[in-house]
Amino acid sequence: MGMIYGSNRYTTDGRRKAQSSTKSARQIAKGVRSNAPEPYRRETTEYRSAADTTGVAARLQPMYYTGTLVKGIGTMHKSNAVPVINEEEMKDLARMRR
C-alpha cells in the first residue's frame, strides 16, 4: 500500500468528510485502588536540615575583558578567527596560511 498524502478529514475534492458515528468520547479512567498492603517502613528519627542556608564562599567578581591581552585577530584557515596574543603567534599564523 502506498503512502497517502493529505488530510484524513477532507476528501481529494476538498470537501469535508462526515464524522463516523461509531467513534465516541473515551471515558476517563479514575484512580485504581490496590488491595496490596502498604510497604513496611521502619521507625527512624527524621533530622531537620540546617536552618542557615547562606553561601559559604565569597561572591566572585564579574569577569570582563580589559583589552590588554589580545593584540588582534588572525585568520588560520578559511574563516576561522583566532585571537593573537603576541608577536610570535602572529608569525606562526603567517607561516601556517596557505
> Which set of grid coordinates corresponds to residue 86?
603576541
State the pLDDT at residue 39: 87
Give the residues across from 74 on adjacent strands: 82
pLDDT digit string, tens, across residues 27-39: 777 888 888 888 8
Indicate whether 77 belongs to any domain. yes
Q: What is the domain extent for residue 98? A: 68-98
Question: In the predicted model, is pLDDT for residue 22 greater than 70?
Answer: no
Indicate whether 78 belongs to any domain. yes
**b/e per residue 7-37 (b: at least 16 CB within 10 A):** eeeeeeeeeeeeeeeeeeeeeeeeeeeeeee
pLDDT digit string, tens, across residues 3-16: 667 777 888 888 88
Indicate whether 47 belongs to any domain. no
Question: In the predicted model, is pLDDT for residue 1 greater than 70?
Answer: no
- Mean pLDDT throughout 38-44? 88
Indicate whether 35 belongs to any domain. no
State the pLDDT at residue 3: 60
